[in-house]
Structure 1
Amino acid sequence: MKTYDSNNAWKLVNKLLPADFQLNENTLPLEEEWIWKGNKMHLDRYPNSASKYRIFLHHGVGTNGRLLNMIFGHKMAELGYDVVAMDNLGYGMTEVNQKNITYEDWVISFSDFVNAETKRDYKKPILYGLSAGGMITYNAACYMDEVYGIIGMCFLDNAHYQVINDTSKYKHTAWFAFPFLGLLSKTPLRTMGIPMKAVSKMNHLVNHKEALKILLHDSASGGASVQTQFLASYASYRSPIAVTAFDKCPILLTQPEKDGWTPIELSKLSMAGIKAPFSIKTLKGAGHYPMEEQGLKQLIIYANEFISRL
């Protein structure tokens, strides 16, 4: 099994976090793998047999499960929650053994994992998603047998042109770039790799300059490439349950105050008219991938309060 011992980027970023959030040899998660359609999906786990809830973490297109456990997972585990983060196809330490990867694969693999875990060892599932992971948790929840709450750092529905336009690296190019990718995805070039930092605002992934440099050169996170068909399917994906009909669980948006990639207006647009209870909390001084102490502490407080009210 491929482990995070082989990756240096998270270790370097970890040293840049506030001291109270840095992982050490006593707070590292257990590493496991879960087989999905022949792929070895990497898991970072903090098990707790006494917990009533299990929190499932999903990264976006510039992070991975270990990076999420650094700022969120291990602190929630300290509060007594069972926590597990999955690296999806092409990210983190997951070993991919399929040729074609689409956004729907990400959605279905995550929903399958939550369903399987809940059946294997029952705990009420809570979902947490950072960046694109926010909408992935929502999309995946539509296929889940049970879900009790969703916490997202943003929710981006590409059905709205403003969302896909404002999150693209070059504004006003989405109208022709993504249809072109759609055409390529129907050709042998569908598996061609495209660096995410070439098409998205990855330069706003984190507001810490040194950490940004590290992550942009890390092929397991901010420096990862995705297939042409993944980008095309991500841009054209439509959730099986519209927000106006979604009432499976309450949702909390924890919006970083100084997020230069996905401002709150995009999440409000994406979730407008949602049927489920929807609340918003602002993380003071925090960037897209928050490393700022005040925002990180607020994230843990708000998440714990949200779950305690379910």
Structure 2
Amino acid sequence: MTYGAWVDLAEELIREERERDGRPVLVVGGSVGGMLAYSAVARAGADGLAVTCLLDVRHAPARAAAARFGPFGTYAGPVMNALRPFEGVRVPIRWIARMSAMANRPDLNAAVARDRLGGGGRVSLRFLRTYLASAPEVEPEEFTACPVVLAHPADDRWTPAALSLPFFERLASEKRLVMLEGCGHLPVEEPGLTRLAEALGRLAADAARRPLR
């Protein structure tokens, strides 16, 4: 599995949903899924896109934030190239990602770190290398596929908003920023959680009023 295959699968899912019936299709991406959703929508189109962050790992500060140990992310290219002979090795996600910053609740962080579908799972070094070497499908100035909502946790201790805003501000599409007060990287706290639900509801209502794309 590579990161590119993830994008391919997300694109195929969106296309299938768009062809299945006449309803608008909204795509939501959280954390790493923000840029994944962005690239898939750039290919397949959608009626709305909501993300919690837009982490462009072409830039060293974004890579450093994504990794559990900042220097690993900063120098990911040379490190991952040196590890190419071992790309089939699968390592626990909690070894490479900052599970302690997933939320601002220690109990939830511990649960995520244990979850076999979360931090307790494993990922291949090949996937990690292809993710850290990835680029968005199109530059933000070329993105016109649909309106975008960046619903960013205001108290994100893993990937602060300052890492996403430069990319977001360059988007050519209609866009809206919503800060989720009190929320960590995984937005589960109030009042931000309610603001997230309201932002998604507004995005859906706006899409329902427009002609399908």
TM exceeds 0.5?
yes
Which amino acid is 1:173 matched to? F
Q: Tell me which residue corresponds to 1:250.
A: 147
Conservation of the 8 A alpha-carbon contact between 2:61 and 2:74: no
- Out of 3, 22, 34, the position equivalent to 1:134 is 34
- Once residues 205 and 111 of structure 1 are traced to their aligned partners in structure 2, the CA distance between those partners, rounded to angstroms, is 26
Q: Could you tell me how far 1:158 is from its partner in structure 2?
A: 0.7
- Out of 181, 204, 211, the position equivalent to 1:307 is 204
Q: Which secondary structure does the structure 1 equivalent of 2:164 belong to?
A: helix
Q: Could you tell me how far 1:176 is from its partner in structure 2?
A: 3.0
Q: Tell me which residue corresponds to 2:175.
A: 278
Give the structure, 1 or 2, with the largest relative contact order (CA under 8 Å, sep 6 or more): 2
Q: Could you tell me how far 1:253 is from its partner in structure 2?
A: 0.6
Conservation of the 8 A alpha-carbon contact between 2:17 and 2:25: no
What number of residue pairs does the alignment pair up? 207
Q: Which secondary structure does the structure 2 equivalent of 1:116 belong to?
A: helix
Q: Could you tell me how far 1:223 is from its partner in structure 2?
A: 1.8
Conservation of the 8 A alpha-carbon contact between 1:208 and 1:291: no
Listed as ranges, the matches of 1:1-310 within 5 Å are: 101-144=1-44, 146-185=45-84, 187=85, 189-310=86-207
Conservation of the 8 A alpha-carbon contact between 2:143 and 2:172: yes
Q: Which secondary structure does the structure 2 equivalent of 1:110 belong to?
A: helix
Cα deviation code 1:88-142 (max 9, x no counterpart): xxxxxxxxxxxxx000111110110111122123322111011011111001112
Which amino acid is 2:138 matched to? I
Residues 291, 240 of structure 1: CA spacing in aligned structure 2 closer, same or farther, 3 A cutoff? closer
Q: Which secondary structure does the structure 2 equivalent of 1:293 belong to?
A: coil
Cα deviation code 1:191-231 (max 9, x no counterpart): 21122221222211111211211110111112221110111
Conservation of the 8 A alpha-carbon contact between 1:197 and 1:203: no
Percent of pairs with identical residues: 26
Which amino acid is 1:155 matched to? L
Give the number of the structure whose residues are more often strand, by fraction: 1
- Once residues 166 and 177 of structure 1 are traced to their aligned partners in structure 2, the CA distance between those partners, rounded to angstroms, is 12
Conservation of the 8 A alpha-carbon contact between 2:100 and 2:106: no
Give the number of the structure whose residues are more often helix, by fraction: 2
Conservation of the 8 A alpha-carbon contact between 1:184 and 1:229: no
- Gaps of at least 5 residues in structure 1 are 1-100
Residues 279, 224 of structure 1: CA spacing in aligned structure 2 closer, same or farther, 3 A cutoff? same
- Once residues 232 and 182 of structure 1 are traced to their aligned partners in structure 2, the CA distance between those partners, rounded to angstroms, is 8
Q: Tell me which residue corresponds to 1:56.
A: none
Q: Which secondary structure does the structure 1 equivalent of 2:55 belong to?
A: coil
Q: Tell me which residue corresponds to 2:211.
A: none
Which amino acid is 1:138 matched to? Y
TM value normalised by structure 2? 0.90
